[in-house]
Amino acid sequence: MSNRNIIKLFETRRGNLDYHLKRDYVRNGIVTLPYIISDYNEVISTYSVKGYEALNMAFSDYLKTEVEFAPPEYPIVLNIIGDCLSQTDKRIITDTIQDTFVYELGMVEKEEKRHTKVFILLIVGLILSGILLYFTHDVIDELRELFFVLFWFMGYTLCDYIFLTGHDIRHNRIMAGRLASIKVVFLKNYEDPNYTKSDVDRLYSEIEKDVRESMQDE
């Protein structure tokens, strides 16, 4: 049996994430996600009712996973590849993708507002507990200890919100915004993306327009 320390060898293995992301995803500043299908229900759930379509769970998970890995500074184009869709199918798929992720974005925004309120309450609580500590030198030790625990708890939770929870909230917000801004393209056969400068400019302009319109709707 070999005396080589294979575990140690694996620990020292290094990857090249940036290279593979750019090679597999990015073309001229656009992330392209190919999705080959042979049936309409590979995108739209078979449990859907006409007029109330929902995304196939496997398809939705694929999009979320790929967007998670894709560089965040680039817009996303989804290439649905197949020769099995009618124009009506394409319209339904496009609308369902947009409606699904715009709804999820709304849920993230709702959660973000809740966390903002909690954050403000924590700041107020930290200030008040600090004031109580400062002006209660002569109170009984048990009561002062209660104020100290309250101050410590508020400070600890606030730091968690700033450095941990806050980071996750911002990440989820960006992810939801990217998914809600996906542009869907239908192709009969796979083609390696070759975007021109005008293609890139048009896509960025469309996304900027969508963002401005969504802000006006609030």
Query: For the segment 158-173, what is each residue's pLDDT rounded down to a tens digit?
Result: 888 888 788 888 888 9
> Torsion over CA of 185, 201, 66 and 33, rounded to 10 degrees?
30
| Distance from C-alpha of 207 to C-alpha of 182, rounded to nearest angstrom | 9
Domain for residue 206, yes or no?
Answer: yes
Establish if 14 belongs to a structural domain.
no
Domain-embedded: residue 12: no
pLDDT tens, position by position, 40-71: 999 999 999 999 999 999 999 999 988 888 88
In a domain, 5, yes or no: no
- pTM for this entry: 0.79
Domain membership of residue 187 (yes or no) is yes
Instruction: Give the structural domain span for 153.
Output: 29-216
Is-contact 77 203, C-beta < 8 A? yes
Q: Does residue 154 fall inside a structural domain?
A: yes
Q: What's the structural domain count of the chain? A: 1
18 domain residue, yes or no: no
Do residues 79 and 188 make contact, with C-beta atoms less than 8 angstroms apart? Answer: no
pLDDT level of residue 21 (50, 70, 90 thresholds): low
Domain-located, residue 2: no
Q: Which residue has the tokens 């400019």?
A: 201
